[in-house]
Amino acid sequence: WALLDGTLPDGLSLNGTTGVVSGTPTTAQTRTPTFQVTSGGQTASRSLPITIAAAGARTWVGGSGDEPNNWLLADNWTPALVPTADDDVIVPPTDWNPIIGSGTGSVRNLTIQSGAAVEVAGPAELRVHGNLDAGQTITGGGTVTLQGASGTARGTMANPVEVTGAYTVDGTLVTGPMTVTGAGASLSLDGEIVSVAGDFTVQNGGVFRSTVADGALAVSGNASFRGGNTAGDVSTGVLSISGDFV
C-alpha cells in the first residue's frame, strides 16, 4: 500500500503492509488522499475522503442499511461513531427518527430539533450527562436519566424520567412519571412550568426547588417528597397535585 497523491489528516499514518490507516488526529479537517495497492503484479488506486470532525460532536443522519433508525449503529451518525457521554448530539428532522431499542444510549448535551423525535423503548435507557432540549417529543417506555452535575432541561418526554444530577428547568418541561433521587440530585423550577403525567417522587436525599415566581409543578398522579432538607428551597410558585400528597 502507498499514498499515490495527497496526504492523510494530521496525526494519521498508513501501514504499507496492511493498508490500515491509524493514529490520533490532531485537528478537525478533511483530506482526500489517493491510495494505491499492488498485489500479484496488479495495481489499483482510489481517492477516498477522510473527515476528522470536531471532538465531541455527533449529528444524526439515519438511513443505514437494514437498521435505519438504530441509535446504536455508528453508520447512522456523522461522523460514524455512536455517541458517548462526552459527545454533544444534535438530532435534526430526517426520514428516520432514531430509536434506542435496547441497551443504553449516552450523550453529554442533547438537542432534538423541531420536527424530529427520539424513541427510547422499554427497557432501554437514554442517559444525559449535560443539558437536554427534548424538542417536541421523546417517546417510548424506556427511562430518560438526567445525571449531569449542573444541567438544564426542557421539552416533551412521554417517558419515565429519573433525575440523579442537579438540573434547572429552562423552558416548559413535560414528562412521564418523574423521580428525583440520590444525594446531590435536584430539580429547580426557576420560574418555569413542569407537567408530570403520573407520579412525582423526591427521595434518597434528592431536592426539589421552587424559589422564582411563576414556577409551577403540575402532577397528574401522586406526589411524594421524602428527599433532603428543603428548608428555604420552596418559597414560591404553584403545586398542583391530582393524587395524594405525601
Phi-psi region of 220 (alpha: psi -120 to 50; beta: other; left: phi over 0): alpha
Report the first-to-last Cα separation within the chain, whole angstroms: 71
User: 74-101: buried (b, 16+ CB within 10 Å) or exposed (e) per residue?
Assistant: ebbbeeeebbeeebbbbbeebeebbbbb
pLDDT, position 30: 76
pLDDT, position 193: 97
pLDDT, position 53: 63
Euclidean distance between CA atoms 204 and 211, whole angstroms: 22
Q: What is the mean pLDDT of each run of 10 residues along the chain (246 residues)?
A: 92 94 80 92 90 77 97 95 93 96 96 94 97 94 97 97 98 98 96 98 96 96 90 91 94
CA-based Rg of the chain, rounded to a whole angstrom? Answer: 23
pLDDT, position 163: 98
The residue to which cell 432501554 is assigned: 124
53: cell is: 470532525
CB-CB neighbours of 202 under 10 Å: 23
CB-CB neighbours of 125 under 10 Å: 19
pLDDT, position 59: 93
pLDDT, position 55: 65
The tally of CA atoms less than 13 A away on the side-chain side of residue 154 is 14
- In the sheet where 118-120 sits, what is the strand order? 99-100, 118-120, 138-139
DSSP character string of 59-114: EE----TT-TTBTT-GGGEESSS---TT-EEEE---SS--EE-SSEEEESSEEE-T
- Which residues 6+ apart lie within 8 Å of 64 measured at CB? 70, 73, 75, 76
pLDDT, position 28: 66
